[in-house]
């Protein structure tokens, strides 16, 4: 019966998608090729030019019509940091001679040169580390990229470049983060310093952990500060960085003390991961039969960064039992194709533009520039799984809203209750 139901659902998927003008689900190999080509398209202009010290020269800066007047140079740091955080897992795979392998190898070569230029005061592409408070945000994404692929992106750097990063990360302590998700930016930077034995500020880590825990409001959602706001910052920052910080603390066993599971993990980490699994279920249910999803809250120009927790769960093989791998892959592929079918997402030189599904400048918040847009790369985290992983080899399945709106049976939803 299960096979018959799956076959019927697949047929309904084809009919549903065909009726809306979208392509039918493809094999995992075809999906992976599409993901790789799209991520390469997003990343190549940035890393090619930055590796040559020409990012400032080549990237046309575009800021919100309500821009708050800060140094526009933050654009380049936002672009590089956010891109690398989403790209890091893919670049962590070993080299091979496939078309995908050649893409990865080229991007990694450019990335390593770009990392060096980012902290070299003599480089035209030395980033805006020491102006404004915004650099704390994107330093955290750079630090996170090192945490996601240390052997491929941190260890190959020269000793001088490593020393420069440690110095730049430490000078960011001059910034007093607002009482919001910004606490996790400080914590992420300091957690990276912990992993390289570079005298982290433990207070910045522990105070962030305590506040985020206090801000949990239930059913997989955290408040971004003392007051709750219904937006996607649980996806952009809170869940991924909170779990990442707790994961490192759990491994290190020297910063955060608390009850542990029989396997040795901090109970707080296990709890945070279950909350992220609940959010993953919600995010998957947000994806319509046609591959669209609800647009609400601030920073909607961050595009597919909305799905970072779902992608992170897939990459880490932590998807909840309610979400089969083939179903998640099919749903995420549909959102990519729906969004990036619009060529106006890119400008003439291949850089992302302000907007959501196209070039929509009025949608940008006062702090947004086209460098901010590169957080959309976070949706590509499952590319860190090899091509023979079940995420890529399992058959595509209709996602929840396709099942529901085609009249098929689909799982009931219920709130997540902690033990």
Could you read off the pLDDT of 271-283 as tens digits, one per residue? Answer: 999 999 999 999 9
46 closest CA partner among 374, 392, 368: 374
Give the chain's largest Cα–Cα span.
66
Which residue is listed with tokens 């046609």?
290
Instruction: Using the predicted structure, report yes or no on whether residue 235 has a pLDDT greater than 90.
Output: yes
3-state SS track over 122-191:
CCCCCCCCCCCCCHHHHHHHHHHHHHHCHHHHHCCCCHHHHHHHHHHHHHHHHCCCCCCCHHHHHHHHHH
Could you read off the pLDDT of 8-66 as tens digits, one per residue? Answer: 333 333 333 333 334 456 789 999 999 999 999 999 999 999 999 999 999 999 999 99
Distance between CA 211 and CA 232 in Å, rounded? Answer: 19
**CA torsion through residues 171, 176, 182, 188, sign:** positive
**The model's pTM:** 0.92
The domain 29-276+304-322+365-393 is classified under which CATH number: 1.10.12, 1.25.40, 1.50.10, 1.10.3470? 1.50.10
Q: What tokens appear for 409 in the block?
A: 């049976």
Q: What are the backbone dihedrals phi and psi of residue 209, each rounded to the nearest 5 degrees, phi first? A: -60, -45
Q: What are the backbone dihedrals phi and psi of residue 143, each rounded to the nearest 5 degrees, phi first? A: -60, -40
11 contacts: CB under 8 Å, gap ≥ 6 = none
Distance between CA 84 and CA 404 in Å, rounded? Answer: 36
Three-state DSSP state, 260: strand
Cβ 396 vs Cβ 334: under 8 Å: no
Give the range among 11-15, 180-184, 259-263 with minimum mean pLDDT.
11-15
DSSP 301: G
31 closest CA partner among 235, 275, 363, 331: 331
């Amino acid at each position: 019966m299960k096979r018959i139901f799956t076959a019927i659902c697949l047929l309904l998927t084809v009919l549903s998608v065909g009726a809306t003008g979208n392509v039918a689900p493809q094999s995992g190999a075809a999906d992976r090729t599409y993901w790789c080509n799209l991520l390469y398209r997003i990343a190549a202009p940035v890393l090619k030019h930055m590796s040559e010290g020409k990012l400032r020269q080549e990237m046309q800066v575009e800021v919100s019509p309500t821009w708050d007047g800060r140094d526009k140079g933050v654009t380049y740091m936002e672009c590089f940091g956010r891109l690398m955080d989403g790209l890091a897992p893919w670049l962590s795979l070993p080299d091979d001679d496939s078309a995908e392998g050649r893409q990865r190898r080229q991007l990694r070569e450019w990335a390593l040169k770009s990392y060096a230029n980012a902290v070299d005061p003599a480089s035209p592409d030395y980033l805006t580390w020491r102006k404004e408070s915004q650099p704390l945000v994107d330093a955290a994404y750079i630090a996170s990229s090192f945490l996601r692929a240390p052997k491929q992106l941190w260890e190959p750097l020269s000793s001088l470049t490593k020393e420069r990063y440690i110095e730049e990360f430490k000078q960011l302590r001059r910034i007093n983060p607002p009482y919001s998700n910004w606490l996790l930016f400080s914590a992420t930077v300091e957690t990276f310093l912990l992993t390289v034995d570079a005298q982290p500020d433990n207070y910045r880590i522990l105070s962030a952990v305590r506040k985020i825990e206090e801000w949990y409001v239930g059913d997989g959602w955290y408040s971004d500060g003392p007051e709750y706001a219904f937006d996607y910052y649980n996806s952009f920052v809170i869940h991924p960085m909170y779990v990442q910080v707790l994961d490192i603390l759990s491994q290190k066993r020297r910063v955060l003390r608390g009850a542990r599971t029989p396997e040795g993990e901090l109970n707080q980490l296990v709890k945070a991961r279950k909350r992220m699994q609940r959010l993953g279920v919600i995010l998957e249910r947000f994806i319509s039969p046609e591959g669209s999803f609800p647009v609400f809250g601030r920073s909607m120009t961050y595009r597919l960064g909305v799905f970072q927790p779902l992608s992170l769960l897939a990459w880490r093989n932590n998807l909840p039992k309610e979400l089969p791998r083939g179903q998640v892959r099919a749903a995420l592929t549909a959102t990519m194709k729906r969004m990036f079918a619009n060529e106006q997402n890119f400008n003439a030189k291949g850089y992302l533009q302000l907007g959501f599904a196209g070039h929509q400048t009025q949608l940008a918040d006062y702090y947004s520039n086209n460098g901010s847009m590169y957080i959309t790369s976070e949706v590509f985290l499952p590319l860190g799984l090899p091509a023979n992983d079940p995420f890529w080899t399992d058959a595509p399945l209709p996602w929840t809203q396709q099942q529901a709106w085609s009249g098929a049976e689909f799982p009931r939803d219920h709130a997540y209750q902690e033990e």
